[in-house]
Amino acid sequence: MTRADSPADNAINSVLEPQATEAGKPDQKTLQNVEGRLSRIEGQIRGIRNMTAEGRGCVDIVTQIAAVRAALKKVGDVVVADHVQQWLDKTTGAAGNGEHDVEELLKVFNQYYR
């Protein structure tokens, strides 16, 4: 498997694709933050697989699943925060179509928080 085909890269692309097509790509710092978080999540998932293979208890496994879910939520929070910052920069820095800008921001919120 090449680096470009890693599960982390695929996850980043699936998380970021809607924002990238609507408001530009997240900045490099955000992408690095997301990459690091997704790498840790990959490790957590490998740990869960090992736990199930070892026959570990359900409470331990569910605890780790909850940690992965929380970590994925945080990845989404980072991406949405980046999008909001871009939106604020765009709308406060130049006169634009305010109604369209608000619709775009609401679309991102609705996509993430549904």
DSSP state letter for 54: T
Higher pLDDT, 27 or 61: 61
Task: For the chain, give the percent of residues with pLDDT over 90.
Answer: 41
Structural domain range at position 19: 3-113
Specify whether the CB–CB gap between 19 and 83 falls below 8 A: yes
- Output the domain CATH number for residue 78: 1.20.58.1000
Q: Average pLDDT, stretch 83-103?
A: 69
| Dihedral (CA of 44, 47, 51, 57) sign | negative
Higher pLDDT, 91 or 100: 91
Domains: count for the chain: 1
Residue 68, pLDDT score? 97
* Both tokens assigned to 63: 């605890």
Q: Average pLDDT, stretch 62-88?
A: 90
Q: Is 17's pLDDT higher than 60?
A: no
As a whole number, the mean pLDDT across the chain is: 78
Angle among Cα 36, 39, 44 to the nearest 5 degrees reads 125
Residue 69, pLDDT score? 95
Residue 22, pLDDT score? 46
